[in-house]
Amino acid sequence: MPGAVRQARGLVSVKPADKPLLLCTLDRLDDPGSYGFSVEFAGEQVDGFVVRRDNECFAYLNTCPHTGAPLDWVEHQFLDVEGALIQCAVHDARFLIDTGECVFGPCPGESLQALPLQVEDGEVYLLGLA
């Protein structure tokens, strides 16, 4: 995973920053686990989260495609109790970790907005905005 750039399918354009922004370290993330963040990046406020599963990391904006509400029900908690899917606290929609696609709930087929990441030397960096 060192140096890997993660970008979910369907992300068409990325607004890069001058340099990547450190979001967290891998030891901050269980596997599976999640971590929420609120940062200023490329001149914009970004509220998002990182999910780690099977030693891969994925990041999304913290906005449900159905209601626009934040997904977390407890700080840094974005996964269902099994740690298998991302879960929305508002209406219990479930999303695939690797693509952000809704597979259960009121917005099937819609997806979370992915954010490109880079994982290097045990640190997780935000690379850009969609």
The model's pLDDT over 80-108, given as tens digits with 9 standing for 90+, comes to 999 999 999 998 999 999 999 999 999 99
Residue 1 has pLDDT above 80, yes or no: no
Q: 128, 94, 121, 129: which is closest to 25 by C-alpha?
A: 121
CB-based contact 101:72 (threshold 8 Å): no
Q: pLDDT value at position 17?
A: 57
Q: pLDDT value at position 3?
A: 41
Domains of the chain from N-terminus onward: 4-129 (2.102.10.10)
Residue 7 has pLDDT above 50, yes or no: no
Residues in the chain: 130
11 vs 83: which has the higher pLDDT: 83
Share of the chain above pLDDT 90, in %: 75
Residue type present at position 10: G
Q: From CA 100, how far away is CA 112, in angstroms rounded?
A: 5
Q: How many helices and strands (H and E) does the chain possess?
A: 0, 11
pLDDT tens readout for residues 26-73: 999 999 999 999 999 888 899 999 999 999 999 999 999 988 999 997
Q: 58, 29, 64, 26: which is closest to 126 by C-alpha?
A: 58
State the pTM of this model. 0.86
